[in-house]
Structures are given as structure tokens and as C-alpha cells.
Amino acid sequence: MTAGREGAEGAVLRNARIAGGSDPAAPSGLVDIRIEGGRIATVRPVPAAPGSTDGYSGLDRAGKAESPAVRGGRPRDSGDEAERGGIRSIDLGGRVVAPAFVEPHLHLDKALLGTPAGGATLAEAIAATAERKAGFTTADVRARAGRMLAMALRAGTTAIRAQTEVDPGVGLLGVEVMSALAEEHASWLEFQIAVFPQEGILSRPGTLELMRTALRRPGTVVGGCPYSEASVTDARAHVDQVLDLAVEFGVLADLHLDLADDLDDERFTLAEYVARATAERGLEGRVALGHVTTLAAMPSVRRGRVLDALAAADIGVVVLPATDLYLMGRADESNARRGVAPLAALREHGVRTAISSNNVRNAFTPTGRADPLDIALLLARVSFVSEDADFAELLRLASGAGARILNPDARHAVEPGARADLVVFDSFDPATVVVDQPPRHLVLARGRPVYRQERLESWALELASIAEQAPFGQPAAAPAPAPVAELAG
Ligand SMILES: [Zn+2]
């Protein structure tokens, strides 16, 4: 179902802090993470031993966390790394580590196309993109998608579901490019292709046949876009066809759903219908929905009913705030609506939730860096988030929760048995990663380093020591030159 990755290595990550909480058994707040066969074998507390060169604690003699540029009070090279007996040992110097990011909803085929002058509504964005698709070539799609993969890796993402358009105009061009990229980057990237009928199935005859052909390829799941049909009857038929394909091909399903400001048009209020259709086919736990912004428009009693139905069918909702904030509320002359699925209500009703970037720099979304940490902060800002625990939860929505959208059995956490796909932040405070937006220091896929922040220059060591004397909070990381992606394999 998912393109596999080759190769796995052993390593020890020393002196790590785990995001979203630390091991209470570790007085230093630090752990050593041992990786074997591409999986986390052990997570062991590091005893506090300030000043010790063996069993370095990441703390200075005053018990304060040291910066990446300093060890035992002395400047040192960042990312201290050694190899003994074939096991790579990487000293994280007290930096924060988290499960690598997952993008369960990312459009690579139409990324980086630019935004039409004057902006676009949803319908205008679909029309503008349809025009651009007529000029797509393999080389063009490949170049833009490749750039997106580099951005994603640099952000700490190692798993992506690429929503890829299929229709009689573009044919299978996008799917073919994504298949080639999946193979090429299999060493670090878990990659799924959602076969996505953006322009509808009933309203674009020939699309269903193309979807069936695409679904015979490995690493595919079935996508859907019922709001692109001409009537609510057709939209429901679209839902049925997509879920029937999920059963027939034994794949997961992922629908773009209910992307509207209000409840006037029934093509945009299908969540309950999807929940029912999911349960009827025994697809619980295997269906995801992107957007679902009309949840924000519903009176709380109706919304509660819809959320309970989604929770009962174990449907995952992927919140896509960068797009929804741009496309929703456009006609509001005052107090423009936020148009974002309500995070607190989703949690209250036990709906499985994840977050993702969706579109990047095109007619649907003029902004974006394919960085789930950026999306987490955006969502925090529009969702009234203020507590440490809620920021930690946002980090989980960008990693472990997304992994479960790609694979219902996924275990994606910093714990023994989990796959060693990890992101290390240039940060020493596990509670403020979302707010700080720190640079990514190191990214590992199956225990193997696949991206590394450039090493600090000597002038930066001085800046780091000045930053340490700053009167606020934890020591700041020195500004680093722009990182360069090291695409593995
Ligand atoms: Zn999308």
C-alpha cells in the first residue's frame, strides 16, 4: 500500500530531550535513543553528570542547558558525531527530538504554480488550475514536485500523501511522475499517491476509468472531491463510487469535503453521509477527510451530531488552515470568517485529527513552505491555543496523527519499537517548539541521517555565547546559514 524504503542502520542519539515531555526517570531531562534496524530499540535516561565528558548531560556546571556550540563550558563543533564498532553516535547536546513530520495532504503536482492576479475563490482556483494543467509536462511537474520534496525534507517531513489529479485532460501524467519520485526517494520517504478527481467524476466522464487504472499501481489510495459535482445527488454518488473503489482495490480513501463558508449548498454538507457510507462498507479507520470547514459554520448541536458520526466511523479529519483561511470568508465585508475546522470541538468529540500544508504557492494558497511546524503555529493562532499541553498536541497532530492517516496501524512516537523517523530541532525547550519555530538540526529516516543543518561558522560560536547571556528564557541557537537539503539515495 505504501512505497517501502530500503536500508536501515544502527545509531545512538545521545543527550536528547523528547518534545512534549521528558522522561521523569531522567533527572537531567535527557535521554539516549538507541536505534537498531531502523527502529528505536531503547530510550534510556541520561544521569545528570554536569561537567562530565563521558555521559555528558547537556547541562553546564550551573545545571543550565548548554547551547549547541558549547560542551562542558567549551566551544565545540555542532553535531558531535563519532562512529564506534559500526554504530554511529550522535551527540544532540540537549536538543529537542520529535517524531518526524508527516504531510497526509499535500499537492505536489500543482505546487509552486503561482497565484492568479487578484486572487481566486475556490471555483476560480479550480478553473485557473485546469487551464494550467493543459500545459503540464513530465519535466515541469517533476521539477516543481522535486522542489517541494526538498522543502519537505528540510522541514523534517519523512512521509507524504500526495494528492494527485487525474482527469481526461491531464490523464495519468501526475500519477506517473509521483510514482517515479516515490521510487527515487524511497530511501528516506514514505510516499502515498491519492488518486484525486479534482474536477469531479460524474461531471468529467472518463475520470472513473483513469482512477481505476491509477489504483492498480502500488502506493496508491483513492481520493475524492464530491463538491465538484453538479448536484447533491451526484455528489453523494461520487462519495459512493470513491468508497466502492476503496473496497474493490483494498485501499484507503481520502476525500476533499465540505469546503464552504456556510450550509446553504448541500454538496458542502456531506460529512454525515460519508460517515454512514463508511460504516455501511466496514471502512472504519480507513477514510480521511480534508478541509470540512462547514463544521465551523454549524450551530453547536448539529456540529456535535456530525462530529459524533465521524468519531463513530473512525474517520480522520485533516485540518488545512493555510488554504482554508485564504479561500473562506472572501465575500465577508466585515468580520471575515476564519473558515477553519474547529480544533477544540474535534477533540471534544474524539474525532481523529491531523494537520497538513495542502497547497503551496498556487491559486488555492499563495503562501507556504511545506513546513508542518509553520502550519501548527498558524492553527494555534486561529484556534485560541495558549496552554503548553495544547502546543504539544499540535506537534503530535503534525506527526503521529498524520502517520495514522497514511497507515491505521502506524506507531509514530519516540518510543521503543517505533520506526526511527525523527526530527531534531535546534532548540532546548520541549515546550516551546511550535512557538519558537526553530531550524531543523537533523532529520533521520529509519535511523539514517538524511538532512543536516549546516555547521556553524566560528563567528556564530561567539554569537551563541552572547545569546546565552540574554536575559530571557533558554539559550538561543546561533543563527545558521540557510540549510541545504541532502537528498539521500
Ligand atoms: Zn487538497
Read off the pLDDT band of 86 (50, 70, 90).
confident
* Ligand 1 midpoint to CA 386 (Å): 28
* Ligand 1 midpoint to CA 352 (Å): 18
Mean pLDDT of 352-374: 97
Longest dimension (CA), the chain: 71
* Ligand 1 midpoint to CA 170 (Å): 17
* Ligand 1 midpoint to CA 449 (Å): 30
* Ligand 1 midpoint to CA 396 (Å): 21
pLDDT score, position 401: 97
Total Cβ atoms within 10 A of residue 260: 21
* Ligand 1 midpoint to CA 370 (Å): 13
- Provide the 8-state DSSP code for 12: E
What element of type H or E holds 14? strand 11-18
pLDDT score, position 412: 95
Mean pLDDT of the chain: 88
Alpha-carbon gap, residue 223 to 161, rounded angstroms: 11
Q: Which of 44-58, 224-238, 283-297, 407-421 has the lowest mean pLDDT?
A: 44-58
The answer to whether 229 touches 199, Cβ cutoff 8 Å, is: no
Q: How far is CA 30 from each of CA 24, 214, 267, rounded to the nearest angstrom?
A: 10, 47, 51
Cell of 303: 456540529
Alpha-carbon gap, residue 364 to 366, rounded angstroms: 7
Mean pLDDT of 418-422: 97
Total Cβ atoms within 10 A of residue 489: 15
User: Does 6 have pLDDT greater than 80?
Assistant: no
Beta strand pairing call for 11-18 and 31-36: antiparallel
* Ligand 1 midpoint to CA 455 (Å): 36
User: Does 163 have pLDDT greater than 80?
Assistant: yes
Q: Which of 19-28, 178-187, 359-368 has the lowest mean pLDDT?
A: 19-28
* Ligand 1 midpoint to CA 290 (Å): 7
User: Does 459 have pLDDT greater than 80?
Assistant: no
Grid look-up 454549524 returns 298
* Ligand 1 midpoint to CA 149 (Å): 17
What element of type H or E holds 4? none
The gap between the terminal CA atoms of the chain, to the nearest Å, is 21
* Ligand 1 midpoint to CA 213 (Å): 21
* Ligand 1 midpoint to CA 457 (Å): 40
Q: Give pLDDT tens digits for 104-147.
A: 999 999 999 999 999 999 999 999 999 999 999 999 999 999 99
* Ligand 1 midpoint to CA 320 (Å): 8
* Ligand 1 midpoint to CA 358 (Å): 5
* Ligand 1 midpoint to CA 216 (Å): 22
Q: Give pLDDT tens digits for 26-73.
A: 567 899 999 999 999 999 998 865 544 444 455 554 555 555 445 544
Beta strand pairing call for 353-355 and 422-425: unpaired
* Ligand 1 midpoint to CA 354 (Å): 14
* Ligand 1 midpoint to CA 256 (Å): 6
pLDDT score, position 465: 64
Nearest Cα neighbor of 161 from 133, 182, 140 is 182
Mean pLDDT of 187-196: 97
What element of type H or E holds 188? none
Q: How far is CA 135 from each of CA 195, 206, 210, rounded to the nearest angstrom?
A: 20, 20, 19
Nearest Cα neighbor of 131 from 432, 362, 296 is 362
Alpha-carbon gap, residue 61 to 196, rounded angstroms: 57
Please report the domains of the chain, with CATH numbers, ordered by start residue: 11-94+420-468 (2.30.40.10), 101-406 (3.20.20.140)
* Ligand 1 midpoint to CA 227 (Å): 13
Read off the pLDDT band of 2 (50, 70, 90).
very low
User: Does 78 have pLDDT greater than 90?
Assistant: no
* Ligand 1 midpoint to CA 364 (Å): 9
pLDDT score, position 84: 67
| Residue of higher predicted confidence among 250 and 475 | 250
* Ligand 1 midpoint to CA 203 (Å): 19
Enumerate the β-bridge partners of residue 16.
Answer: 31
Mean pLDDT of 241-261: 98
* Ligand 1 midpoint to CA 174 (Å): 15
* Ligand 1 midpoint to CA 20 (Å): 28
* Ligand 1 midpoint to CA 186 (Å): 23
CB-count exposure of residue 4 (10 Å: 0-12, 13-18, 19+)? exposed
* Ligand 1 midpoint to CA 11 (Å): 37
Grid look-up 559500526 returns 86
Helices (H), 349-399: 372-382, 388-397
* Ligand 1 midpoint to CA 106 (Å): 7
Read off the pLDDT band of 9 (50, 70, 90).
low
pLDDT score, position 26: 58
Grid look-up 503562501 returns 367
pLDDT score, position 289: 98
Alpha-carbon gap, residue 138 to 77, rounded angstroms: 43
The answer to whether 12 touches 21, Cβ cutoff 8 Å, is: no
Alpha-carbon gap, residue 473 to 335, rounded angstroms: 36
* Ligand 1 midpoint to CA 291 (Å): 8
- Provide the 8-state DSSP code for 296: G
Beta strand pairing call for 70-71 and 74-75: antiparallel
